[in-house]
């Protein structure tokens, strides 16, 4: 059996290295990066758009292309996050925190390149974990029941306290607002509409992507327009950046990239959590373990490295339960699974015995695709960075139009465009009083997952007659509860200690997220 798997891996590499497949991957990655960069067009959508195209291809070739598009799109989200403060996909929310600050400091190309290198490393780590450990890890993912999801979300929400040092109250306010918005629509347990005020389109709830475009893109453009400057930020290309950056990253952030990638792969394998949760938690952990957490949010390279390596590692992670159990780990994985099924390949425990060759070609191709992403992405960075040389009065309207198209294209629905505009205006006003879109987005991402998990846990607890047993005393839940408590209080304790030894904690100005 062992021998067999090694043979499959080798033949997988051989297959994915054929010129035709390399060509497909280059195309897939370039297309993915473009879609990922555009606000509103998500990785899931990029993959979904290409699934019908793969119907006419050989199963392996189709999958190779889908995988490449997926990697490219998740990485591409960072471009817009860094240059415009707009997460191109929900997975790159955390990238905006430091990426945009670096752009403002004139280090845009450094940030872009760091996100590319981190994405490539994260992606490869994720796939290697998938390749080597997927059978045992899939069993681990099954141990995660609804109570554990609930506590994972609570742990994720504690990131707010880290995201808004010096301004915790406003951060919490934003987070609560996000949670509140997340409750609009169908009640996940009762299946009955609520908070819709009798307005029918609200039954489907506020969709994450249009709201995010509003929170970030629309409000950001309003902010830029009032700033009365000609360019978003000063930008000058730094020569010979690659070499110096690589050595800087190796020196500063080896452990950050590896830790964030492993976190990303782990959170990726939990169905329903996905890229946004992974990158936010990875960002929080990077900050927590750092000796100088104050630099985060002001243009720390480490913040970008954490966010981008973890969200690309999610790809490998989310394929773990899909390959082993037929349970996709995130929406994009679900679409890929649809593509597999259409070719008569059934993911799950029999995948390796029945279609091992195709499966391993797909998995190994992801490693190759990540390697190809380095030159393709490098070339595209040179192109996209030029947006900083375009005067603002061209950029702003174009971004607004692209955002509207993105919001519309999601479900061919004008309603989503209105959602974008309304939430954009709300976020703009909130930013005036010091409430940033970060916590708002976090509440909206995690709220619905947490609510569903809590509701289901309580149904089970009610049937079994013990809330204590189901909610608090399971080992994984217990660990997550401890971690959450630590996460909430570490910033407070740290600042207390610092005050005591006479160091004044500088209050961040409110624009820093």
Partner 1 sequence: MKLKNKSIVSVSLLLIALMILISGCGQSNTPTPEKKSEANYPDRPINMIVPYDPGGGSDMLTRMIDKHAKEQFGNNFTFVYKPGAGGAVGASDIAKSKNDGYTIGTVNIPNYLLQSISGSGDFNADSFDYICQTASDPQILITPQGSKYTTIEEFVQAAKDNPGKLTVGVPGALGDGHVATLMFMEKAGIEVSIVPLKGGSDLLGSILGKHIDAGMANIGVVISEKDNFNILGVTFDKEHPFVPGVPTFKEKGYDVQSFVGRIYVAPKGLAPEMLQKLETGFKNIWDNSEYQDSMRNAMFSTDWKTGNEVKEFVTKYHAEAKALIEKYNK
Residues 119-158 that bind partner 1 (CB under 8 A): 141-146
The footprint of partner 1 on residues 407-446 (CB under 8 A) is: 408, 411-414, 417
Q: Tell me, by CB under 8 A, how many residues bind partner 1.
A: 75
Report the nearest approach of partner 1 to the CB of residue 305 (Å).
31
| Comparison of 302 and 416: residue with beta carbon closer to partner 1 | 416
| Comparison of 5 and 49: residue with beta carbon closer to partner 1 | 49
Distance CA 115, CA 269 (A): 22
Report the nearest approach of partner 1 to the CB of residue 461 (Å).
10
The closest of 259, 226, 221, 219 to 426, measured between CA atoms, is 219
Report the nearest approach of partner 1 to the CB of residue 488 (Å).
28
Build a one-symbol-per-residue string for 23-62: x at contacts with partner 1 by CB under 8 A, - elsewhere. Answer: ---------------------x--xxx-xx--x-------
| Comparison of 57 and 405: residue with beta carbon closer to partner 1 | 405
| Comparison of 20 and 199: residue with beta carbon closer to partner 1 | 199
The footprint of partner 1 on residues 256-295 (CB under 8 A) is: 271-272
Report the nearest approach of partner 1 to the CB of residue 322 (Å).
9
Q: Hey, is 136 helix, strand or coil? A: helix
Residue 52 CB: number of other CB atoms within 10 A? 10
The footprint of partner 1 on residues 195-224 (CB under 8 A) is: 200-201, 203-205, 207, 221
User: What are phi and psi for residue 491, nearest 5 degrees?
Assistant: -60, -40
| Comparison of 143 and 234: residue with beta carbon closer to partner 1 | 143
User: What is the full DSSP assignment across 192-252?
Assistant: -EESSTT-GGGGG---HHHHHIIIIIIHHHHHHHHHT-SSSS---PPTTHHHHHHHHHHHH
Candidate list 335, 367, 384, 385; residue touching partner 1; CB under 8 A: 335
Binding to partner 1 by residue 194, rule CB under 8 A?
Answer: no
Contact status, residue 94 vs residue 303, Cβ threshold 8 Å? yes
Contact status, residue 408 vs residue 213, Cβ threshold 8 Å? no
Binding to partner 1 by residue 355, rule CB under 8 A?
Answer: no
| Comparison of 52 and 375: residue with beta carbon closer to partner 1 | 52
Contact status, residue 80 vs residue 406, Cβ threshold 8 Å? no
Contact status, residue 89 vs residue 43, Cβ threshold 8 Å? yes
Q: Hey, is 185 helix, strand or coil? A: strand
Distances (CA, A) of 134 to 7, 127, 330: 17, 10, 16
Element spanning 346, H or E: none
Report the nearest approach of partner 1 to the CB of residue 222 (Å).
9
Report the nearest approach of partner 1 to the CB of residue 399 (Å).
9
Distance CA 220, CA 87 (A): 11
Report the nearest approach of partner 1 to the CB of residue 480 (Å).
16
| Comparison of 49 and 258: residue with beta carbon closer to partner 1 | 49
| Comparison of 404 and 484: residue with beta carbon closer to partner 1 | 404
Report the nearest approach of partner 1 to the CB of residue 301 (Å).
32
Candidate list 401, 473, 479, 493; residue touching partner 1; CB under 8 A: 401
Number of H helices, E strands in the chain: 21, 2
The angle formed by the CA atoms of residues 309, 311 and 317, to the nearest 5 degrees, is 105
Distance CA 417, CA 404 (A): 6
Candidate list 325, 359, 385, 388; residue touching partner 1; CB under 8 A: 325
């Amino acid at each position: 059996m062992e021998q067999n798997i090694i043979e499959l891996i080798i033949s997988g590499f051989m297959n994915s290295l054929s010129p035709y497949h390399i060509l497909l991957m280059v195309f897939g990655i370039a297309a993915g990066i473009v879609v990922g960069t555009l606000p509103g067009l998500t990785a899931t959508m990029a993959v979904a758009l290409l699934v019908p195209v793969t119907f006419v291809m050989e199963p392996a070739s189709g999958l190779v292309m889908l995988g490449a598009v997926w990697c490219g799109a998740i990485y591409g989200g960072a471009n817009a996050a860094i240059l415009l403060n707009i997460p191109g996909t929900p997975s790159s929310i955390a990238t905006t925190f430091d990426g945009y600050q670096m752009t403002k400091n004139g280090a845009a190309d450094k940030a872009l390149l760091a996100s590319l290198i981190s994405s490539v490393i994260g992606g490869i780590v994720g796939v290697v974990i998938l390749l080597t450990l997927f059978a045992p890890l899939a069993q681990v993912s099954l141990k995660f029941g609804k109570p554990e999801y609930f506590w994972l979300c609570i742990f994720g929400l504690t990131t707010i306290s880290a995201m808004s040092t010096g301004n915790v109250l406003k951060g919490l306010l934003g987070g609560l607002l996000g949670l509140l918005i997340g409750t609009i629509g169908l009640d996940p347990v009762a299946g009955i509409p609520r908070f819709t005020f009798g307005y029918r389109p609200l039954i489907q709830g506020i969709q994450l992507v249009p709201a995010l475009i509003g929170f970030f893109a629309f409000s950001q453009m309003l902010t830029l327009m009032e700033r009365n400057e000609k360019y978003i930020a000063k930008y000058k290309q730094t020569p010979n950046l690659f070499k110096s950056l690589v050595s800087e990253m190796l020196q500063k952030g080896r452990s950050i990239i590896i830790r964030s990638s492993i976190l990303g792969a782990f959170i990726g394998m939990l169905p329903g959590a996905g890229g946004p949760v992974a990158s936010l938690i990875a960002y929080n952990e990077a900050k927590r373990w750092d000796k100088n957490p104050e630099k985060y949010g002001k243009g720390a390279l480490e913040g970008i490295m954490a966010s981008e390596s973890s969200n690309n590692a999610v790809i490998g992670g989310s394929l773990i339960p899909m390959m082993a159990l037929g349970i996709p780990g995130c929406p994009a994985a679900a679409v890929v699974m649809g593509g597999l099924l259409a070719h008569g390949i059934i993911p799950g425990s029999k995948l390796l015995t029945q279609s091992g060759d195709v499966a391993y070609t797909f998995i190994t191709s992801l490693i190759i695709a990540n390697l190809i992403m380095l030159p393709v992405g490098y070339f595209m960075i040179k192109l996209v960075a030029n947006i900083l040389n375009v005067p603002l009065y061209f950029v702003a309207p174009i971004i607004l139009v692209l955002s509207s198209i993105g919001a519309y294209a999601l479900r061919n629905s004008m309603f989503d465009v209105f959602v974008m505009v309304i939430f954009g205006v709300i976020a703009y006003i909130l930013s005036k009083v010091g409430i940033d879109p970060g916590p708002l987005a976090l509440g909206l991402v995690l709220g619905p997952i947490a609510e569903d998990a809590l509701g289901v846990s309580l149904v089970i607890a009610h049937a079994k007659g013990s809330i204590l047993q189901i909610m608090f005393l399971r080992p994984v839940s217990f660990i997550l509860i401890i971690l959450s408590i630590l996460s909430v209080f570490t910033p407070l304790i740290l600042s207390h200690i610092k005050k005591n030894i006479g160091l004044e904690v500088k209050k961040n100005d409110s624009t820093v997220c």
